[in-house]
Structure 1
C-alpha cells in the first residue's frame, strides 16, 4: 500500500483520540538522557545455564536506530545497565537467551532508578513482570503487549483477495484503512491489556501498515497483479505511479502528537518518509540544517497540515541517522558545524554528537563493498554460479533486505566477527532483491561492505523455492 488521497478511517481516528488526551503529565519529550536500569530475572532450576544474557532493545527516536544493550546475569539473576535514550521516557523490549521468543515490554524514564523484574515458568515462558517506574501499566501490559501486536500483524481475515492493481491509488488506501479498522477487535480479545496499551498498540500497527505497505505501493500492486495472473509479472505501464499529493492522508495521523515518542515503530516511520521515492525529500548532506528544514517543510506542509514542531526535528535527526546507520559514515566537519549552529548546545545537538562518536568507532570496523553482477545463468544454476566465484573459501551467505530490521541487526552484530576473520579464507556475500528500493540498497551496502548481489524478483523467488524458505528473516 503506498500513497493516498483519502483519510484514515473514522473508526481508527475515534480509537486513537483517547491516547492524544491521556496522561498529559507524562508527555514524552526529546531529551539526551542516560537511564540506569537494574533488576532481577527469576529462572527455574532446570532452565539455568552457566551464563545467561539479558538484552534490552531501546528505540532511539531522534536518530532512528534501535540499540540493543546486553548484560550478563549474576548467579542470583541480577543485572545492572546504563542505556542512552533520545527521549525522557522510552518504551522498549526486554528478554534473555533462555527463550528469545518470550519477551516483555518495558517502559523506562530518565532521572530515576528503573528496576525491571521478570521470571520464567518451567516451559521457558515469561509469566511475571514488573517495571517500577510505570505502575500505571499493568503486569498484563508488560507481558502480553508484544504478543498482542504480533496477533494483529498475523491476523488472516479469510476474505477473498481483492483486485487492486487496476484501480486508483486511493482505492488501495481505502483498502489499507479497512484492514486497519478490521483488526481493532483483536485488541479486545484475551490476553487482556489496558485501554492505554490498546491505544499505543493500535497506533503502532497503523504506522507499521503504512510504512511497510502503503509506502511500497508499486511492490504491493505487482504482487496483487501476479496473484490474479498465475505469477506473471505485469508490464511496467499497468501499475500507476503515485504522486506526492497522494500522501495527503498523512494529515489525519497528527504526527506532531508527542505521545508518538512512546511508539516503537515511530523511528522506522520517520526513516521511511525520508527515503520514500514519491515524497522525494532531499538528503541533508552538508546543507545547513535550517535550509534543509525549509525545503522539507515546503514539501510536507500540504501533506501533514503543519510546518512546526518536534516531528520536523525528528526528521532532521533521522536524516543524519541514515548517514550514520546506512553508510557508517561519521559527520564531516561541515556537518558538525551546521549542527552546532542550528541546535546551539541543545539536547538534540548532544544526541547527534554522541551518536557520531559511536559511528567513528564503528567506521573502523567497516570493510570495503564490492557490487557483483548477477551471473548470466539459468535460475537453477544461479546460487552455484555465485558460490563458484569463491572456490577454496568458506562462504557465508546472508539473504537480507533494507526493510528487514532483524536482518540489519544481525549484520551489525557480525561486524566484529568479520574483523576477526579478515585476511583468512572467508568471504561474506549479501543477497537482496527489488523489495529493497535500489536507491536505499545502494546506501545501505556502503555501511555493510562485503560482496553484494541485487537479484531480480524472479531470481529471488526461484532461490526461495529451491532452498525452501518463504521470506526473511
Structure 2
C-alpha cells in the first residue's frame, strides 16, 4: 500500500476516534422552529426503595412560547413503573422539565421533538439519587439534563460579594450597571462548570439573564423599595424613588431578542408577558386591531429599546398578546380576532397554535363562573371570615389565599381549572382572597380568568387571617362545610384529586 494512502487512512481513523471521544460536540440541541405539534413521552420509573408502586407520579412542564404559558402534565405510573404522556408543543424541538413524586425537587431537562416519541427510563438508588438515566433518542448529554436546573439554582442563590449599597437615591443607570455586573458574576458559575456542554451553556445563559432581569430589574420602583429596606433596615417608611421613563428599558438591546433560541428558554414566555403588561413601556392591547396596525404602533415604542425593527420576534410578541387574553382572562377569541389572525398568518404555524389554544379555552369557558368582586374593607379584622362564609350559607366554601406574584398560586389555579368546572352545578362556593401585595390593576386583570368570588383585603385583615389560622405561606386553603363550620386548612396545593375528595366529602 502506498505510504500516502496509509497516512490518509491513519488520519481518518484518528479523526473518527477523536470525534467519538467528544460527546458534547456529538449531541446538538439545535435551533427551534415554530411548529404546532404534539410529542409523546414514555418510560419507566423504578427505585430500590420499598415505595408504594401505586402512587408514583410523573410531572412534566412544557413551555409554550407562542401562547405564552407553561403547561403542566401529570401521569400515574403503573405498578411496573411504566407511564405515557402526550403533550402539545409549539416548536419543532422543546426543552421540558420532568420530575417524579419520588424526588420532587430533583428535575431533569429533556429535549422533545415534535411528532416524535421520547423514552425516559429513570432508576433511583436507595437514597433517591439518580442511579441510571436512559433517554432515547439521545438529544442531550446526561450532564446537561441533570446539571442544568442545578446550576441555575446555584446562580440564583449566589450571595453578593459585598454589603448592599444605597441605590434608591441615585441615578437609575447605577442600578442597571450593578444589575449587569451581578448577572455576569453569577454566570461565571455556569461558564466554569466543566460538566455542561458549550451549546447548553449558551441556552442556560440566555434563560437565566431574562429571568433575573424580569424578576429584579423590570419593576424599578419595587427594586428600589427593596434596596431601601435592605440598606436601612427600615420596614415602616417609604423612600422617595426617582421616576423612570421608557428609556430605562434600553437594557433590552443587550438580549438580541430576535435569536430563535429564546423559544426553548423556559423564562421567555414570562419575560414577554412582562413587556406586554409593563405600564411604563405602554404597549397597546391587541384587542380587535388588525395585526399590521398593532405591530406598527408597537414598533414605534419598542424598536429603539430592543434594537431592531423587523424579525420573527414581533410575530411572537403579537401571538403572546393574544395569549394574554386566552390565558389570563380565559376568554375565547372573537370572530374579528380570528379573522385578523387568518388574514395575517394565513394557515401558518402561529395561526394553528392560537386556534388550537382557543378551542381549549372555549371548552373551559363553558363552565367559568362570572367574576364577583366584594368589598369588605369596613369589616373588622376578626369578622372577615365570618362575613365571607355567611354569604354562602348552605354551601361548601373553599377559600384560596393567593397573590398575583405567587407562581405556585397561579399554577395551582391552572391545574384546578378543569376540575373546578365539575362543581359548577353543585352547592360549592369558590372564594379567592388577596391583599395589597398584589397590584390592583394586575389583580383586576387576572381575576377575569379565574371567575368566582374575590376579595381584596386590607393588610391588617390579611395578617389577622394568616395569624389566626397559623398560615405561613401561600397558596393556602381553608375549607368550611354547609353549616359554616371550619373543617380544614391546607398549605401548598395538594393536587386535584385531594381537593375534589375534600369538597365531595362535605357535599
Shorter-normalised TM range: 0.7 to 0.9
How many angstroms apart in 2 are the aligned matches of 1:421 and 1:176? 47
In the TM superposition, residue 315 of structure 1 has moved relative to its aligned partner by 0.7
Show CA shifts across 1:417-439 (max 9, x none): 43334455543222234443332
Contact (CA 8 Å) 1:36, 1:81: kept in 2 or not?
Answer: yes
Partner residue of 1:33 out of 22, 34, 37: 37
How many angstroms apart in 2 are the aligned matches of 1:192 and 1:459? 50
Aligned twin of 1:211: 214
Is the counterpart of residue 354 in structure 1 residue 356 in structure 2?
A: yes
Contact (CA 8 Å) 2:364, 2:418: kept in 1 or not?
Answer: no
Show CA shifts across 1:17-36 (max 9, x none): xxxxx999921111112223
Contact (CA 8 Å) 2:36, 2:90: kept in 1 or not?
Answer: yes
- Any residues of structure 2 matched to 1:194-209 within 5 Å, and which? 194-209=197-212
Partner residue of 1:302 out of 297, 301, 304: 304
SS at match of 2:74: strand
Show CA shifts across 1:22-71 (max 9, x none): 99992111111222332222233512322433221110111111112233
Contact (CA 8 Å) 1:128, 1:143: kept in 2 or not?
Answer: no
- Any residues of structure 2 matched to 1:172-183 within 5 Å, and which? 172-183=175-186
TM-align CA RMSD: 2.8
Going from structure 1 to structure 2, the CA distance change for 1:143 and 1:348 (only over 3 Å counts) comes to same
Contact (CA 8 Å) 1:104, 1:129: kept in 2 or not?
Answer: no
Partner residue of 2:96 out of 77, 92, 96: 92
Partner residue of 2:108 out of 104, 125, 128: 104
In the TM superposition, residue 468 of structure 1 has moved relative to its aligned partner by 5.3
Partner residue of 2:137 out of 129, 133, 137: 133
How many angstroms apart in 2 are the aligned matches of 1:388 and 1:173? 50
Contact (CA 8 Å) 2:53, 2:81: kept in 1 or not?
Answer: no
Going from structure 1 to structure 2, the CA distance change for 1:254 and 1:127 (only over 3 Å counts) comes to farther
Aligned twin of 1:146: 149
Aligned twin of 1:164: 167
SS at match of 1:414: helix
- Any residues of structure 2 matched to 1:288-327 within 5 Å, and which? 288-327=290-329
In the TM superposition, residue 120 of structure 1 has moved relative to its aligned partner by 1.8
> TM-score of the superposition, structure 1-length normalised?
0.86
Partner residue of 1:419 out of 418, 421, 424: 421
- Any residues of structure 2 matched to 1:338-349 within 5 Å, and which? 338-349=340-351
Contact (CA 8 Å) 1:270, 1:314: kept in 2 or not?
Answer: no
How many angstroms apart in 2 are the aligned matches of 1:231 and 1:350? 50
Contact (CA 8 Å) 1:180, 1:206: kept in 2 or not?
Answer: yes
Structure exhibiting the larger radius of gyration computed from Cα positions: 2
Aligned twin of 1:440: 442
Show CA shifts across 1:435-466 (max 9, x none): 43332221110110122223456765676666
In the TM superposition, residue 243 of structure 1 has moved relative to its aligned partner by 0.8
- Any residues of structure 2 matched to 1:31-70 within 5 Å, and which? 31-44=35-48, 46-70=50-74
Is the counterpart of residue 79 in structure 1 residue 89 in structure 2?
A: no
> TM-score of the superposition, structure 2-length normalised?
0.81
